[in-house]
Amino acid sequence: MERRVIGFLVVLLQLVSCVGALSGNASNSGSLYAAFLLSNGIGRTPPMGWNSWNHFHCRIDEWTIKKTADALVSTGLAALGYKYVNIDDCWGEANRDSRGNLVARKSTFPSGIKALADYVHSKGMKLGIYSDAGYRTCSKTMPGSLGHEEQDARTFASWGVDYLKYDNCYHDGSSPQNRFARMSYALRKAGRPILYSICEWGEQNPATWAGTLGNSWRTGGDIQDKWESMTSAADQNDAWGRFAGPGRWNGTVSFLFL
């Protein structure tokens, strides 16, 4: 059962090809933010765990998340550092509630995200969630966080979320640096340390700027669950190694085959 739950989907969320020192040209504000990240204890080492998207896509529910958390513990992977259990796209209802809040999809997450986070935490694990720096998420099935950054950051914190993957679909055409910065500042004020993973797809060399905003950033496009995809991603990350360090990591999503 546990191997069927995990399949090929135990994920090393950040594949770091070179853990280099931060560039000496970092701005003062970037340095201050790095200090803020480290003071919260977030991302001192590359975050590792599991993400639902590559295998399950939108076919995700709270029972799969619970079984995955159980399997990561029972197989010993959690003890090796695979601590994050991350829900990707499609977890929410198509529309916000009357107060403008994101709402977990009742058909697949009937207990709500807070109860799910409590369960994952009881196993000694951390829960991740997904949103988007646009008006809709990439699946188009639920709202993005553009224009609702502070509200959504507070919601995630109140649920006990530990990790936010923030995607780049269906936005207003404005600079990604600006859109991703807005969520960065919102997370600072949310009242809970939340690892911030910037999923800009590597289009504007995020290694050169995302370290002033978040804990990790995606350096390339989608991958596939085969070794050739993983090794090519590692090669790609070699160019960005000097931008990596505690609290801020280059990376992409890669798979460990079980």
pLDDT cut 90: percent of the chain above it: 66
Residue 45's SS3 state is: coil
Q: Write down the catalytic residue from 70, 88, 162, 167.
A: 167
pLDDT band at 41 (very low <50, low <70, confident <90, very high): confident
Q: How confident is the model at residue 40 (pLDDT cuts 50, 70, 90)?
A: confident
- Residue 115's Cβ-count burial label (10 Å; 0-12, 13-18, 19+) is middle
The letter for the amino acid at 165 is K
Torsion sign across C-alpha atoms 56, 57, 60, 64: positive
For residue 22, pLDDT over 50 is answered with no
Neighbours of 172 (CB within 10 A): 11
Short-list 216, 221, 218, CA closest to 248: 216
Question: Average pLDDT in the 78-101 region?
Answer: 97
Residue type, position 130, single letter: Y
Residue among 237, 168, 255 nearest 19 (CA):
237
Q: Of 1-5, 49-53, 116-120, give the lowest mean pLDDT range.
A: 1-5
**Rounded CA separation 32/3 (Å):** 43
Res 239: pLDDT: 81
Strand partners, 136: 143
Cross-strand bridge partners of residue 218: 251
Active site residue 222: yes
User: What is residue 238's predicted lDDT score, i.e. its pLDDT?
Assistant: 78
3-state DSSP call for residue 82?
Answer: strand
Across residues 167-181, what is the average pLDDT?
Answer: 96
3-class state of residue 79 by DSSP: helix
Domains of the chain by range and CATH? 46-251 (3.20.20.70)
pLDDT digits (tens, 9 = 90+) for 186-232: 999 999 999 999 999 999 999 999 999 999 999 877 777 778 877 87
What pLDDT does 150 receive?
A: 98
Which one has a higher pLDDT value, 130 or 7?
Answer: 130
As a whole number, mean pLDDT of residues 27-47 equals 69
Quickly state the pLDDT bin for 16 (edges 50, 70, 90): very low
Average pLDDT, the chain: 85
> Can you spell out the DSSP letters for 48-63?
EEEESHHHHTT---HH
- Can 132 be counted among the known catalytic residues? no
Q: How far apart are CA 179 and CA 251, in angstroms?
A: 20
Phi-psi category of 201—alpha, beta or left, where left has phi over 0 and alpha has psi -120 to 50? left
Q: Which residues share a beta bridge with 11?
A: 49, 255
Q: What integer is the mean pLDDT of 75-100?
A: 97
pLDDT digits (tens, 9 = 90+) for 105-161: 999 999 999 999 999 999 999 999 999 999 999 999 999 999 999 999 999 999 999
**13 pLDDT band (50/70/90 cuts)?**
very low
Say how far apart CA 91 and CA 113 lie, in whole Å: 9
Which residue in 172, 222, 235, 238 is the catalytic one?
A: 222
Q: Would you say 164 and 187 are in contact if contact means Cβ atoms under 8 Å apart?
A: yes
